[in-house]
Structure 1
Amino acid sequence: MSFADQGTRNDLSMTNKKNIEILKKDINKLSYEESISELEAILINVQDENISLDKIQINYIKGHLLLKHCEELLEFVEQEINEINPEFLK
């Protein structure tokens, strides 16, 4: 089940700091590909004309955290690439 489809215990409480920290921990376990898949699911979800304002807010928070996670993963890989000594590749 994706984060976008996952029902929360109480959608209104999703924005409280404790729940956001839990969500961050769950997202940090995802690979880059899994994170992109979750972002795609959120995009589909928010395109629903019948989506509630609460769901929009929740999807915004999840999307923001997923995007940040993807950026951090890409930065890490970029650093690793920059640290490769060209001599090792010969």
Structure 2
Amino acid sequence: MSNADHVKKDHIEISNKVNHMKNIETFKKDIKKLSYEESICELETILKNVQDENISLDKIQINYIKGHLLLKHCEELLEFVEQQINEINPEMLNIK
């Protein structure tokens, strides 16, 4: 491989990494807006997409990244609700 080919290959790899980072940031912003139920629905859609035998390698990678971010978002939402539940004072729940 010539030096020019190495430079071109390196440029393509850097460009791909920059595009992936932009995609990840976009995914994060979009996912933060989703409710727990919407996130689960998106995860189910990704699961169906990945099971398709004709899916491209690029789409597999995108689905993996999105799925990971959605799963993390769901975990954060569940942790938040768990904290809220733990902060409920049991005496406040007594009905007189």
Corresponding residue of 2:59: 55
Structure 1 gaps of 5+ residues are 1-11
SS at match of 2:63: helix
Higher-Rg member (1/2): 2
Aligned-residue CA RMSD (Å): 1.6
Distance 1:88 1:14 in 2: 52
Please, which of 69, 72, 75 is the counterpart of residue 68 of structure 1? 72
Which residue number in structure 2 is paired with residue 5 of structure 1?
none
Identity of paired residues, percent?
81
Q: Per the alignment, in what secondary structure is the counterpart of residue 16 of structure 1?
A: helix
Unaligned runs of 5+ in 2: 1-15
2:36 counterpart letter in structure 1: Y
Task: Name whichever of 61-70 and 18-27 sits farther off.
Answer: 18-27
* Residue-pair matches, total: 79
CA drift at 1:28: 0.4
Bigger helix share: 2
Matched, 1:22 2:26: yes
TM (normalized to structure 1)? 0.82
What per-residue deviation string (whole Å, max 9, x for no partner) do you get for residues 46-65 of structure 1? 00011111110000000000
| Equivalent residue number for residue 9 of structure 1 | none
Paired residue type of 2:92: F
